[in-house]
A and B are shown apart, each in its own frame.
Chain A
Amino acid sequence: MGLGSKSESKGATPTAMAAVMLVVGLVVGAVAMFFVGGGLGQTGGVVTRFETVTVGGGATVVRTVTQPVTQLVTVTVTPPPPTPPRLTGTIEIDGSSTVYPLTEAAAEAFMKQHPGVTITVGISGTGGGFKRFVVGETDINDASRPITRAEAETAAKNNIVWFEVPLALEGLAIVVHPSNNWVDCITISELREIWKPDSRITRWSQVRSGWPDQPIKLYGAGPDSGTFDYFTERVVGRAKSSRTDYVASEDDNVLIAGVAGERFALGYIPYAYVAEAAGRVKIVPVRDDAVAGATCVEPNDETVSSFRYPLSRPLFIYVNKKKYDEKPALREFVIFYLENGEQFVKKVKYTPLPSYYYKLAASLVKGGTLDGLFGLAQMTLRNAGPR
């Protein structure tokens, strides 16, 4: 090594070292924060207090008492049992974006009551979620439609046994631009003509004579969403068969923004989203012309829960039976979800099933009857009496 180069390198080294230290410091700081954060997270729901106990003989002993806190829960939920069992474990949930807000609310309330349990809720769409559910990757799948035959077969092949729990109802709203004054009602068969694969309809006047001779701009759910599956099955007649030349998105706000900005637009969007965006789009009443004497019905809580609105659908969770038997936390969560279901449904502005359904279903699940809940949900509706 030459002298010159040595003194040169001496000059530069401290900067380099400082830089290295900076980055190392950053990383170490990050890691430290990470662990401190982890520590905080674990003690978040626990109160530690010190008690001084005087033992006979005058010796003083300090004892640490750790207690889970249950008062942090903001939603009023069923009071916890006198000695809450210390639940631990993880629950992995994935699936429909429509069911997501509901499950999120339930998971949050449950975790506040049981700080030892970790629940993760993903959004992959009903179909995307089922792909993971039927190979046993997830414990629960949020679904905005019943499981398909193909999915059920794959599950059986992988020895995945499941049961379904209906939790809420939801209407699919047909929306147009607020300035649209010609559509006052649309029928299912007109919707089928518009949305069927290779549909030739490109102008409003082709749907019904008398409507303007203007291009029709279509907005609808993307192919990974349960909304798409439901709509195509209910309206077109076959799941997943739809025309493809429309604006598709899994993000319902994109669809609302699209319809709100286009005078000749037509779209289908979950009612809860439309209700939030009141005024930006106009809801079109729907008539099921396959039923004799049916009238035009607008979606709202009453028409959706009675299934008088033709595009009403149930929302489910699908539970992996084996995991349900193995994990006490999962069992408790499902029961908790059902018991407080109505509250969560109202909070996220979906349409609840009748109150007694939740009570009945929760007690059935507690007693070990897991099958037939879908039937129960439907039966209570059919027997609701004349309207």
Chain B
Amino acid sequence: MGDQILIRDQVDRRRSDLKRWLDRIVPVVLSVGVFFGVTVLAALVVDVVLEGSHRLSLNLITNYPSANPAEAGMRSAILGTIATVGLSAVICIPLSIASAIYLIEYAAGKRWAEVLRYNIANLAGVPSVVFGVVGLGFLVYGLGVGRSVLAGAFTLAILTLPYVTVTCVEAIKTVPEDLKFGAYALGATRFQVVRSIILPRALPMMLTGGILGISRAIGEAAPILVISGLLFIREDPTSLFDRFTVMPLQLFNWISRPQPAFRELSAAGIIVLLLILLALNSLVIYMRYRLYRRLEAT
């Protein structure tokens, strides 16, 4: 009897040794994944900065593209990006919020609402170039909008719509049910609940999703390549029907040049693009921080 207990004791100890060892090794294994991602990103950033940093100058932002690398800039591309992406945000964010509210609050529990939601989630997985082709066929040729800022903005809006809608749906789900039911119990109408209960609480997260959508739209090259083509343009877009180009396409144009100076320029352009994306992402973090502080305060 005594022997057996002793053995059991040893087995237990051995098992707990194994557990402790596993416990120590698992974080190492898991962190390999993180380090891998971070290393790749760091290598990319270091490479780009090493190649492009000496090309960084105000010229890059204020000058138009040029055949002469010393004075080439991406002004028309930056303004084109601001115009198309800004306009697409104005179109996409309200639409996404509206569709999310409709799906969750008005059509909740209905079968086709579920179908719609799955379709929107599927839409988020469609390759972006497909949206470009749709935009080209429907907007540029079908509606005769031309290869314009308007066509680009609508295409980007349709592209980001599913992402932002999905975030908005999640945002609405985070609103506590008891608040909603309480309001209904007190006789509030559906619209009142949406306006006074859901929107105020869900809006910050919705806008976070919106800004992430914008960040994605800024980096998109494929759909704009289909809509606008690779373009050399030395004019600011001043109307909705102007031709335009965007930053990723300008970078693509520079990379495909044989002269090394243009490759350095594109590296510098990548730095500018990264800085803009970084600024947008910090905005998201700041908004989230403000939101949490506000929620804790109440």
* A27 interface contact, C-beta 8 A: yes
Is A248 on the interface with B (CB-CB < 8 A)?
no
A23 within 8 A of B: yes
Residue pair B294, A11 in contact (C-beta under 8 Å): yes
* B residues near A34, Cβ cutoff 8 Å: 79, 82-83, 86, 236-238
Residues of A within 8 A of B229 (CB): 94, 122-124
Indicate the member of A19, A30, A74 with the most B CB atoms within 10 Å: A19
CB-CB contacts below 8 Å: B201-257 with A: 201, 203-204, 207, 210-211, 229-238, 243, 253, 255-257
Q: Does B75 contact A (CB under 8 A)?
A: yes
- Which residues on the B side are within 8 Å of A108 (C-beta)? 66-68, 234
Complex Cα spacing A19 to B229, Å: 35
Interface residues of B, count at CB 8 A: 54
Interface string of B101-143 (1 = CB under 8 A from A): 0000000000000000000000000000000000000000000
Given known A-B contacts A16-B199, A16-B200, A120 and B231 have beta carbons under 8 A apart: yes
Residues of chain A within 8 A of B86, CB atoms compared: 26-27, 30-31, 34
A37 at interface, CB cutoff 8 A: yes
Residues of A within 8 A of B169 (CB): none
**Residue B268 is within 8 A (CB to CB) of chain A in the complex:** no
Q: Is A211 close to B, CB under 8 A?
A: no
The answer to whether A33 touches B79, judged by C-beta atoms less than 8 angstroms apart, is yes
Residues in A105-162 with C-beta less than 8 Å from chain B: 105, 107-108, 111, 118-124
Determine whether B282 belongs to the interface, using a CB cutoff of 8 Å to chain A: no
Whether A27 contacts B90 in the complex (CB less than 8 A), given A2-B182, A12-B200, A37-B75, comes out as yes
Contact status of A252 and B203, CB under 8 A, knowing A5-B196, A121-B231: no
Which B residues lie within 8 Å of A252 (CB)?
A: 256, 258
A12 touches B234 (CB 8 A): no
Q: Is the interface of B mostly helix, strand, loop or mixed?
A: helix
Residue of A nearest to B255 (CB): A253
> What string of 1s and 0s marks CB contacts (under 8 Å) between A321-352 and chain B?
00000000000000000000000000110000
**Contacts A347-B67, A348-B67 given; does A12 touch B294 at CB 8 Å:** yes
Decide: B232 and A100 in contact? CB cutoff 8 A.
Answer: yes
Is A294 part of the binding interface, using a Cβ–Cβ cutoff of 8 Å? Answer: no
Q: Is A356 an interface residue (CB 8 A)?
A: no
User: Which of A54-62, A226-234, A236-244, A270-278 is the contact stretch?
Assistant: A270-278
A78 contacts partner chain B, Cβ-Cβ < 8 Å: no
In the complex, per-residue mask of A281-305: 1 if CB is within 8 Å of any chain B CB, else 0: 0000000000000000000000000
* Contact between chains at B67 and A2 (CB < 8 Å): no
Q: Smallest distance from the beta carbon of A46 to chain B beta carbons, Å? A: 15
How many Å from the CB of A275 to the closest CB on chain B?
A: 8
Q: Which residues of B contact A5 (CB under 8 A)?
A: 179, 182-183, 186, 196-197
Q: How far is the CB of B111 from chain A (nearest CB, A)?
A: 31
B297 at the interface (CB under 8 A from A): yes
- The answer to whether A1 and B196 touch (CB under 8 A), given A12-B201, A30-B86, A123-B229, is yes
Residues of A within 8 A of B (CB): 1-2, 4-6, 8-9, 11-16, 18-20, 22-23, 26-27, 30-31, 33-35, 37-38, 40-41, 74, 92, 94, 97, 100-101, 103-105, 107-108, 111, 118-124, 251-253, 256, 272-273, 276-277, 347-348
Closest 3 CB pairs of A and B: A276-B258, A11-B298, A121-B232
22 A-B residue contacts at CB 8 Å? A9-B196, A9-B201, A12-B294, A12-B298, A22-B207, A26-B86, A27-B86, A27-B89, A30-B83, A31-B86, A33-B79, A34-B83, A41-B238, A92-B243, A103-B232, A108-B68, A118-B233, A120-B231, A120-B243, A121-B231, A123-B231, A276-B258
